[in-house]
């Protein structure tokens, strides 16, 4: 039974790839509300599969399958490939420039995912953690200027290479309880926004930006504190 549960956890993770295919199909048909809803489902699967994996002790019971590698494959699909397709297909980028702009996150995040230190031993992401699903969500529901979206995509693609430590929300010890609570509230707000498409409540979409702002500030603060604690101190002779 324990072995079966361990395999079911891997299946749970792999279902994210299935979700990615249906998200692409819905976006291609212009059914953006359903596509964004599935992007939210993919985010939920990713946020919970690690907890299930640790509880089921999958590393111990199925040592021949690398759950972390499976997770990375699925994450690249749902966090990079699918949102880049949405940015391009929904005309969220400047006309005539979307084709090369989406290449930037696709290539930068491919580099980011391939790094051996992409996730630090103390549970941080090193460099912008390719949350392109969140970027595409706000570009869509807030109806920002395509040129603003393009500049944002370029800036965040560069940030993939800047070794700032970003929180791993479900595993990091820094204000973990508060982060999960605020993240759950954020998820509920985003659900309401998607449910109300094609006329999303703009004030709720704006209000939901509190969590990305909180996440960024806490990550930078944690990064600076880590740098201060590891910097060599000069002794007095």
Read off the pLDDT of residues 211-224 as tens digits, 9 standing for 90 and up: 999 999 999 999 99
What is the model's pLDDT at position 237? 38
118's tokens: 């992409």
Domains (range + CATH), the chain: 2-227 (1.20.120)
* Six-digit token string for 158: 């560069």
The greatest distance separating any two alpha carbons of the chain, rounded to the nearest whole angstrom, comes to 71
Gyration radius (Cα) of the chain, Å: 19
> Can you read off the two tokens belonging to residue 49?
């599969």
| Contact call for residues 39 and 101 (beta carbons, < 8 A) | no
Report the SS3 class of residue 163.
coil
Kindly report, residue by residue over 60-74, the tens digit of the pLDDT: 999 999 988 999 999
- Mean pLDDT value across residues 164-186: 88
> Each residue of 64-104: pLDDT tens digit?
999 889 999 999 999 999 999 999 999 999 999 999 999 99
**How do residues 31-69 score in pLDDT, each as one tens digit?**
999 999 999 999 999 999 988 999 999 999 999 999 889
Residue 22: its H or E element: helix 2-28
Mean pLDDT of the residues in the chain: 93
């Amino acid at each position: 039974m324990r072995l079966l549960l361990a395999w079911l956890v891997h299946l749970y993770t792999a279902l994210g790839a299935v979700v990615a295919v249906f998200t692409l199909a819905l976006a291609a048909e212009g059914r953006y509300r359903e596509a964004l809803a599935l992007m939210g489902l993919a985010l939920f699967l990713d946020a919970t599969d690690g907890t299930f994996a640790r509880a089921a002790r999958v590393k111990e019971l199925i040592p021949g399958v690398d759950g972390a590698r499976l997770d990375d494959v699925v994450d690249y699909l749902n966090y990079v490939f699918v949102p880049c397709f949405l940015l391009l297909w929904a005309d969220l980028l400047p006309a005539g420039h979307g084709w090369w702009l989406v290449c930037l996150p696709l290539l930068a995040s491919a580099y980011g995912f391939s790094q051996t230190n992409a996730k630090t031993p103390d549970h941080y992401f090193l460099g912008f953690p390719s949350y392109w699903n969140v970027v595409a969500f706000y570009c869509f529901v807030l109806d920002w200027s395509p040129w603003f979206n393009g500049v944002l995509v370029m800036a965040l693609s560069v940030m993939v290479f800047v070794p700032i430590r970003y929180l791993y929300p479900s595993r990091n010890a820094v204000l973990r309880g508060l982060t999960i609570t605020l993240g759950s509230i954020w998820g509920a707000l985003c659900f309401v926004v998607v449910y109300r498409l094609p006329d999303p409540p703009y004030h709720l979409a704006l209000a939901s930006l509190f969590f990305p702002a909180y996440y960024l500030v806490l990550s930078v603060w944690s990064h600076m504190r880590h740098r201060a604690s590891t910097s060599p101190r000069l002794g007095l002779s």
